[in-house]
Amino acid sequence: MIIVMKMNATDIDVERVTDRIVELGFRTHLSRGEERTIIGVIGDERQLSREMFELMDGVEKILDVLPPFKLASRDFRPENTVIPLNGIRIGDRRIAVMAGPCAVEDRTQMREVAHAVKEAGVKILRAGAFKPRTSPYSFQGLGLEGLNILAEVREEFHLAIVTEVITPEDVPTVSKYADALQVGARNMQNYPLLHTLGANGKPVLLKRGLMSTLQELLMSAEYIVSHGNYQVMLCERGIRTFETYTRYTFDINAVPVLKSLTHLPVIADPSHGTGKWNLVAPIAKAAVAAGADGLLIEVHPHPSLALSDGAQSLKPETFARLMAELQAVAQAVGREL
């Protein structure tokens, strides 16, 4: 941490700041420039509150030297974290495709999708039983009944299951039915939920909040990791910007940036990242080309009848075609599906 003093800060101001730093058990390093005096704090600044200093007389601003996350950083663990799921080692060379409908609607729909995605080469099925919805008048998910359907389909088709959990209380139940637990974008900073998942141990698919910075996403991952669970996949799913033609703006930069900042695997969700089924294929290919470790793709047997997010869902046949195209792109960047 570096404390920049105001142009007109007095020697007493400087002294008070350095005194407080020393009181807190850190060392200081003073540098007087032509226009400003700056004070360096030596030690692990993550334990210090910026505000404690920001409000002291003569302080102009605080600059961070260290990133605020530690366990999730590549500095801390240089090699990729690899998360095994139904035979795929996510984070390694092979790209994991997780596909399925936004919401579990009924047994017939789920068996139809499970069959289709399995045929297309998918090992991991995604579908939501608990659905957070913007409108109180929309379908809210089947809940426990949905989990039971997922359990049956898992058994029958030998697919791993990724499904969303929305309250800490549901974590034990959902863990019984799912192979990986998804944290939705609106819950990225639901800290009680992150705590519980950190203690729980099952792999977590953590979606970036639609207006969260990459640093905040990594801080949320740090919550889970610091509670003991390193099996965290980070998922870019589009951010909110001024552009309204697409529902969200898929932040493709996030893929290589996260790969450089953290050892955790990076998953891309082109379905939410665009909101339109006809943009899913190009953005899925782009994400693979940019280095994503996996994809989360919405597939529905009858998108126009879907109870949720139909507009961004692919039909099984379109999805099968995309899988073939993705294989080509994966190979072009030295990976495989």
Binding piece for a copy of itself, criterion CB under 8 A, among 39-47, 84-92, 114-122, 155-163 = 39-47
Does 23 help bind a copy of itself (rule: CB under 8 A)?
no
Exactly one of 86, 89, 121, 210 binds a copy of itself (CB under 8 A); which one?
A: 210
Tokens (6 digits) for 115? 């069959």
Say which residues have a Cβ less than 8 Å from residue 282's Cβ, sequence separation at least 6.
none
Does 144 help bind a copy of itself (rule: CB under 8 A)?
no
Contacts with a copy of itself in 226-245 (CB under 8 A)?
A: 226-227, 239-245
> 147 or 153, CB closer to a copy of itself?
147
Tally Cβ neighbours within 10 Å of residue 200.
Answer: 21
User: At its nearest, how many Å lie between a copy of itself and the CB of residue 89?
Assistant: 21
Exactly one of 11, 33, 79, 155 binds a copy of itself (CB under 8 A); which one?
A: 33
Exactly one of 13, 92, 175, 311 binds a copy of itself (CB under 8 A); which one?
A: 311
Does 13 help bind a copy of itself (rule: CB under 8 A)?
no
Does 255 help bind a copy of itself (rule: CB under 8 A)?
yes
Tokens (6 digits) for 87? 């035979």
Rounded to whole angstroms, the Cα distance separating 331 from 337 reads 8
> 144 or 305, CB closer to a copy of itself?
305
- DSSP structural state of residue 239: B
Does 319 help bind a copy of itself (rule: CB under 8 A)?
no
B/e letters for 234-258, b = 16+ CB within 10 Å, e = fewer, are bbbbbbeeeeeeebbbbbbebbeeb
Q: Which of 307, 310, 272, 311 is nearest to 137 (CA)?
A: 307
Binding piece for a copy of itself, criterion CB under 8 A, among 86-94, 118-126, 174-182, 204-212 = 204-212
> 40 or 121, CB closer to a copy of itself?
40
> 85 or 301, CB closer to a copy of itself?
301
Binding piece for a copy of itself, criterion CB under 8 A, among 104-112, 120-128, 174-182, 209-217 = 209-217
| Residue 301 CA: distances (Å) to CA of 109, 113, 132, 164, 228 | 7, 6, 22, 21, 39
Does 9 help bind a copy of itself (rule: CB under 8 A)?
no
Does 211 help bind a copy of itself (rule: CB under 8 A)?
yes
Contact 99, 270 (CB under 8 A): no
Q: In what order do the strands lie in the sheet with 2-5?
A: 27-32, 37-42, 2-5, 59-63
Exactly one of 112, 143, 216, 335 binds a copy of itself (CB under 8 A); which one?
A: 216
Does 34 help bind a copy of itself (rule: CB under 8 A)?
yes
SS3 category, 173: helix
Contacts with a copy of itself in 166-195 (CB under 8 A)?
A: 166-169, 186-187, 189-192
Tally Cβ neighbours within 10 Å of residue 98.
Answer: 29
Does 38 help bind a copy of itself (rule: CB under 8 A)?
yes
Alpha helices in 68-187 (DSSP H): 107-119, 144-157, 171-177
Exactly one of 29, 93, 107, 158 binds a copy of itself (CB under 8 A); which one?
A: 29
| Residue 299 CA: distances (Å) to CA of 96, 187, 312 | 15, 23, 9
Q: What letter represents residue 246's amino acid?
A: T
